Amino acid sequence: MKRVAILLGLAALTLFFPASLLFAQEAETAASAASAGGNAVWKYFAAALAVGISCIAGGLAVGQIGTAAMGAMSENPELSGKALPYAGLAEGICLWGFLVALLILVL
């Protein structure tokens, strides 16, 4: 099931990323695009990969941690406070991917 979810996520990324380039507005002039050497497209592709891969990895991590936390809390309800920080750390993976993408786009 995990492999199917990963494959669907990668398929959606490869299908929707080129479509977003078709509808994107050209913000640069031809002179600035020529001086950039065509790196503008790769910059957006790298940002999309940073967010996409980090969110897929974060989702898988939260799924694993959530399953283990629910199993542990069913046996001992006092463990709920100890399980929440681990889920927060796993969600932080998505935040770091977003920050990396933001730095790629800005710099």
In a domain, 24, yes or no: no
pLDDT at 43: 92
* pLDDT in 10s for each residue of the chain, 107 residues: 777 667 666 666 565 555 555 555 555 454 455 555 567 889 999 999 999 999 999 999 999 999 999 999 899 988 888 888 888 898 899 999 999 999 999 98
CA distance 28 to 26: 6
In a domain, 45, yes or no: yes
CA distance 56 to 69: 20
In a domain, 90, yes or no: yes
Per the structure, the count of domains in the chain is 1
Q: CB within 8 A of 46, min separation 6: which ones? A: 101, 104
In a domain, 2, yes or no: no
In a domain, 4, yes or no: no
In a domain, 17, yes or no: no
